[in-house]
Amino acid sequence: MLQNEKVCFSGVQPSGNLTIGNYLGAIKNFSTFSSEYRCFYCVVDEHAITVRQVPADLRRRTYETLALYMACGLDPEKNTLYVQSHVPAHAELGWILNCFTMFGELSRMTQFKDKSARHADNVNAGLFTYPTLMAADILLYQTDIVPVGIDQKQHLELARDIAGRFNAIHANTFTVPEPYMAKTGMKIMSLADPTKKMSKSDENANAVIYILDDRDTIIRKFKRAVTDSGSEVRMGEGKDGINNLITIYSAFTGKTVEEIEREFDGRGYGDFKLAVGEVCADALTPVQTRFAELLADKAGLEQVMKTGAETAARAAYRTLNKVKKKLGFVV
Rounded Cα distance, 42 and 44, in Å: 6
**Interior CA angle at 55 toward 153 and 22, to 5°?**
30
CA-wise closest residue to 153 among 138, 167, 142 = 138
Rounded Cα–Cα distance for residues 54 and 57 (Å): 5
SS (H, E, C) 255-322: CCHHHHHHHCCCCCHHHHHHHHHHHHHHHHHHHHHHHHHHHCCHHHHHHHHHHHHHHHHHHHHHHHHH
Q: Which one-letter DSSP state was computed for residue 85?
A: G
Active-site hit among 197, 221, 239, 273: 197
Annotated catalytic residue 113:
no
Beta bridge partners of 8: 39, 145
**Spatial CB neighbours of 177, under 8 Å, sequence gap ≥ 6:** 9, 138, 139, 143, 144, 145, 146, 156, 159, 160, 163
Among candidate residues 28, 115, 239, 273, the one labeled active-site is: 115
115 is catalytic: yes
Direct distance between the N- and C-terminal alpha carbons of the chain, in angstroms, rounded to an integer: 22
Residue pair 162/139 in contact by the 8 Å Cβ criterion: yes
- Exposure on the CB side of residue 124, measured as CA atoms within 13 A: 10
- Can you tell me the distance from the alpha carbon of 64 to that of 2, in angstroms, rounded to the nearest whole number? 31
Q: Name the catalytic one among 6, 153, 187, 200.
A: 200
Active-site residue, 325 included = no
CA atoms of 316 and 49, how far apart (whole Å): 22
Catalytic (active-site) positions: 115, 197, 200
